[in-house]
A and B are shown apart, each in its own frame.
Chain A
Amino acid sequence: MISLKYNYIIIIVIFFLSLFYSLPNLLGENPVVIINKIDNFTDIERNKIIDSIKNKKNTKIFNENNILFEFNTIENQFEAYNTLKDCLPNDTKLYLDLYPSEYLKIFDKIGAKPMRFGLDLRGGVSFLIKIDINSVKKNNIKLQFNFIKNYLKKNSIKFDYIKIDKNSNIKIKLKNNKENFYIFNLIKNKFNNLICIEDSDNILSIKLNKDEKKNLKKNLIIKTLSVLSNRINELGISDSIVHQYGKDKIIVEIPGIQNIDHAKSILGKTATLKFMFLDTENKINKYLDNNKNYGSKLFYDKNKNSYLLKKDIILSGDSIIYATSGFESNLNKPCINIKIDKYSAKKFEKITMKNIGRPMAIVYKENYTVNNKIFTKEHIISIATIMNVLSDNFQITGLNINESKDLALLLRSGSLPSNISILEEKVIGPTLGKTNILNGFKSFLISFFIIVIFMLLMYKKFGIISFISLLMNVLLMISFMSILGATLTLPGIAGIVLTIGMSIDANILIFERIKEESVKNFNINETLIKGFNNAISSIIDANLTTLIIGLSLFILAYGPIKGFAITLSLGIITSIYTSIFVTKNLLFLVKKF
């Protein structure tokens, strides 16, 4: 009997815990607009801000550095966001976010928060983005190709040809086969990421080894993920999701926003800088007339003036680790402060030391995609004479304020390591989300009560047990989802409703068994225990088979449907607890009445 007492205590504690962690979902969160670093503003400015969005229903909360405007609808929030954006100075940071309502703050302290709503319930935009792995591989092999070619020339090894074939393998045929060992040694000593095979007809075939391919892919995806989430944060959108899907795809989910044109243009931009020397030896006219390659290339600045630049790149945007926009101290022109990594800084230092007095050009390069084809545009943003040795920290000028800001954002968030293309774009309006929430909630409540009535009709007082264990099951599911930070979607709600219908099966199994036993047995205790024990094996079998399906679906699913897999699987796990532990102990309580 003592152990039973403990069981009841456990059940009650778990019940209250799950109730507590589920409650935030009823209280909800409100859409807010946050203005950062408010202490930079004067009181007049503050009042102006507050006046400008007075008519949109909102409340305001002052923190130490922020003002927070709370709105009752997403539409109001968004309208106010746009108004504020227009009237605030350019460098103010504005954030769209959800903020727990007043009551919620107590819960917030112990980590109880409402479930995340998926885009289909909340409205927002989602992108499925594909990373161009092949082009990165190709670029990589091109680098190696140039190195090997130079090596061959330097050591005057004669070759029939050296080329990159369509499978991105470097193929070399040497004039003298006996010299093949040069290449083998070179690959062995210098490139531990390449492998070299000799084909039957004395053609050497060089390609990336497996580990290198894997690393390349892994780094590419990690880099892209971090760049994308950096950019979204820089844009002032919090609460977004960026994660990998499949081998070479990334999902970006941005809740709340409908007007995505700016976000979209920033997300996929691959803008970067490169530093090149001005070619002072060759005349532009000559270059244009002969169209000969002097190791230089023609570039234009914004005013369509043309310059010849040496093809060798002194410093590329990849080396930049941090960038901010600001104003240059001497001439008070807008500038970008750039910080580059140590390794590049050393190289850059050497080059600039050797070339003091020589003019250098800074080139802006941007890739853009039209109809899945990639185009590049490049232009010179400034040409300056190297005055002193440049190292890891320096400034560049030549762009206006907005351009500097956008470019600094892009450089700061890192350049995308490859081109990306949008495979899927979904925009879900907030109206639909609201209807979905309402309908989902309705079907959840009604199905809950219909099942309870169904069980009461079928099993009379035993139906009360079903009611309690079903209630606990639902609370546990909701609290687990809230704690785990799982996303609730419309199919997810369907999963919960389906769980209500299916998890009651365990109770039905137990009660049916008890009914059977009660015919054979007159001892109530024995009837209950036997009935329950007989049912356990079936309950476990039935639940585990469904769990297998839930988990398989989890692999396939993305977006809203993942929510279905989550709630279905979670519902099975919680219902095993409620049907076995809760129902069992409640059975002995009912017996007393």
Chain B
Amino acid sequence: MNINFFKLSKFLNFFSLILILISLFIIFNNKFEMGLEFIGGIEIKIYSKKNIDINFIKNSFVKYDGIKIRSYGSEKTLILKIKNNNSIKILDEFKNEINSLNNINNMELKILTMEYIGAEINDDIIKKSINAIFLSIILMFIYLILRFDLYFALSGIISLFHNIIIILCIISYFKIELNLLLLSAIFALFGYSVNDTVVIFDRIRENLNLKNNNDITSIINLSLNSTLSRTIKTSLSTILVVIILFIFNTDLYYFSLILNLGIIIGTYSSIFISTFYIYFLTNLKVNKNNLKESPDS
């Protein structure tokens, strides 16, 4: 098998660049639908053996400002949510409200989970999240520099950012709630994205040492071709298990959805984006050196 990936690379990188710009635009416009952990509030999940009339519930809770009620997984489970509310008392009020619905209207509602998150905690979690994100990117960068070199490291990190920005755009565009669980999916994608790329890098380095061929494009092409089978099979195996998570666990719906999208994007970027930047950055260096040498000669 010998596919000329590099032929596509230039076009796809241009395409990705535009995609990133659009993504950033969408993110800045739409912002994120932040989860309770980040802004505080109350969430209650209720369940009934029979289908719940969502409009009836909505009417009973209409007096609470900013309450959102939607079904979760099926008609039998509902989520009631108020964001930005700092009163733990509402939790008790909700409990009473649900009890009275049960007593007066025979609704047979059961509280599955109740959650109150005060506003004070947010700063801490946001700070910790940002710290953890920076820490992991820096550690990853250092690891790549130590194991490869600066150009490989930069290329790896560029493709990492590429993946994350597109994923964040999807989250922002479809107003998927960005909570701690989703954030950990994004973290897993950090890992996956570099994991996928690093194997290709490994092969490029191996081929660079093996062959005296200075043509980086042909080395990248060769390496991509020989790792292609692995790249596809590993992505496939991971996608398979995440699909199973997606099917069976309602609580992991968005978590696995985002993971799967991220794996697909990560596979694409490790083939086309990260390798292109190795070529691009090495060329830049070569050109610079040529410029330096030319006045003397």
Chain A residues within CB distance 8 Å of chain B: 120, 128, 130, 246-247, 249, 371-372, 421-429, 431-432, 436, 439-440, 442-443, 446-447, 450-451, 454-455, 458, 490-491, 494, 497-498, 500-502, 504-505, 508-509, 512, 515-516, 534, 537-538, 541-546, 548-550, 552-553, 555-557, 560-561, 564-565, 568
Contact = CB atoms under 8 A, between A and B. Distances in A.
Interface string B86-114: 11110100000000000000000011111
A246 B121 CA distance: 10
B143 A502 contact: no
Given A491-B255, A501-B239, A541-B199, 9 more contacts: A247-B124, A425-B114, A436-B251, A439-B250, A455-B237, A498-B188, A505-B237, A534-B206, A561-B184
Interface stretch (B50-58, B127-135, B283-291): B127-135
B143 A548 contact: yes
B132 A555 contact: yes
Contacts of B255: 491, 494
Q: Which 8 pairs, one residue from A and one from B, show the smallest C-beta to C-beta distance?
A: A501-B241, A549-B191, A552-B136, A556-B132, A546-B191, A447-B241, A501-B238, A427-B114
A432 B46 CA distance: 10
A470 to B, nearest CB: 11
A538 B186 CA distance: 23
A379 B229 CA distance: 78
B181 A552 contact: no
Question: Which of A128, A439, A498 has the most chain B CB within a 10 Å cutoff?
Answer: A498
B153 to A, nearest CB: 11
A553 B128 CA distance: 10
Contact of B121 (A423, A501, A565): A423
B194 interface: yes
B18 to A, nearest CB: 28
14 contacts: A120-B251, A130-B121, A371-B89, A425-B88, A426-B113, A426-B114, A426-B116, A427-B113, A450-B244, A498-B242, A509-B230, A538-B198, A538-B199, A557-B180
Nearest to B227: A512
Interface of B is mostly: helix
B245 interface: yes
B140 to A, nearest CB: 6
B195 A546 contact: yes
Contacts of A442: 248
Contacts of B251: 120, 436, 490
A545 B188 CA distance: 11
B38 interface: no
Contact of A556 (B88, B128, B244): B128
Given A429-B112, A443-B245, A552-B136, A451 B240 contact: yes
A541 to B, nearest CB: 4
A422 B119 CA distance: 11
Given A424-B121, A432-B113, A458-B233, A502 B195 contact: yes
Interface of A is mostly: helix
B30 interface: no
B62 to A, nearest CB: 24
B135 to A, nearest CB: 5
B128 A504 contact: no
A436 B47 contact: no
Contacts of A560: 181
Interface of B: 45, 47, 86-89, 91, 110-118, 120-121, 124, 128-129, 131-133, 135-136, 139-140, 143, 147, 180-181, 183-184, 187-188, 190-192, 194-195, 198-199, 201-203, 206, 226-227, 229-230, 233-234, 236-242, 244-245, 247-252, 255-256, 259
Contact of A568 (B117, B188, B234, B248): B188
A512 B225 CA distance: 12
Nearest to B125: A556
A140 B233 CA distance: 64
A252 to B, nearest CB: 14
Contact of B245 (A247, A421, A497, A555): A497
Contacts of B234: 502, 504-505, 508
Question: Which of B89, B143, B202, B237 has the most chain A CB within a 10 Å cutoff?
Answer: B237
A501 B242 contact: yes
B230 A491 contact: no
Question: Which of A130, A501, A543, A546 has the most chain B CB within a 10 Å cutoff?
Answer: A501
A534 B209 CA distance: 14
Nearest to B249: A439
Contacts of B183: 556
Contact of A546 (B115, B131, B192): B192
B252 A490 contact: yes
Question: Which of B136, B241, B259 has the most chain A CB within a 10 Å cutoff?
Answer: B241
Contacts of B244: 443, 446-447, 450, 497
Contacts of B248: 439-440, 442-443, 446
A545 B140 contact: yes
Nearest to B95: A427
